[in-house]
Amino acid sequence: PPSIVKFTVQVNGQPHTLEVDTRTTLLDALREHLHLTGTKKGCDHGQCGACTVIVDGRRINSCLTLAVMHEGAKVTTIEGLGTPDKLHPMQAAFVKHDGYQCGYCTPGQICSAVAVLDEIKQGIPSHVSADLNAKPLLNETELRERMSGNICRCGAYSNIIDAITEVSGRAA
Ligand code: FES
Ligand code: FES
């Protein structure tokens, strides 16, 4: 039988108390319980990155984690990054550089990109930089590696990298 659990989570700065089946993923809790449909369900199996959100400063695939595991956590979705009137700099850069075509992967790409620049700022190595012991961490190979969990069927990769590069403060 389903077991329903009540828990509180902060989403985009607002506390929400939810009652969900323990088997509910964070992705389904966001989309179906909080109606935050900006976060997309592509594969539901951790393979596409469309469901990427930022939890306590780290990006995760929200399809791969249970909602109830995030009691007390701070979750940021695409809706919490910016608004149509006041875009987050990463959103504005995606618009400027045409970092999307159909847009389905875009919320995940943008959440991931925001977290990637944070990882780099903190000096957290990727597989590439760990292998090569490479510094600086901010170059195209590095960005492509770090963004490799976010698949784009439309192939907007170059423009996505241009957008991230611009936000990172380097000339594209
Ligand atoms: Fe989560 Fe594809 S929907 S990784
Ligand atoms: Fe269509 Fe990326 S813009 S999947």
- For residue 128, the CA-to-ligand 1 centroid distance in Å is 23
pTM: 0.94
Residues 58, 76 within the same domain:
yes
Query: Residue 49 CA: which ligand is closest?
Result: 1
What whole-number distance in Å separates Cα of residue 86 and Cα of residue 61? 26
Task: Kindly report the average pLDDT of the chain as a whole number.
Answer: 94
Q: From the alpha carbon of 51, which atom of ligand 1 is closest? A: 1
Residue 172 lies in a domain: no
- For residue 99, the CA-to-ligand 1 centroid distance in Å is 19
Residue 62 lies in a domain: yes
- Chain segment 63-107, per-residue pLDDT in tens: 999 999 999 999 999 999 999 999 999 999 999 999 999 999 999
Three-class secondary structure assignment of 92-110: HHHHHCCCCCCCCCHHHHH
Residue 143 lies in a domain: yes
* Structural domain harbouring 129: 89-167
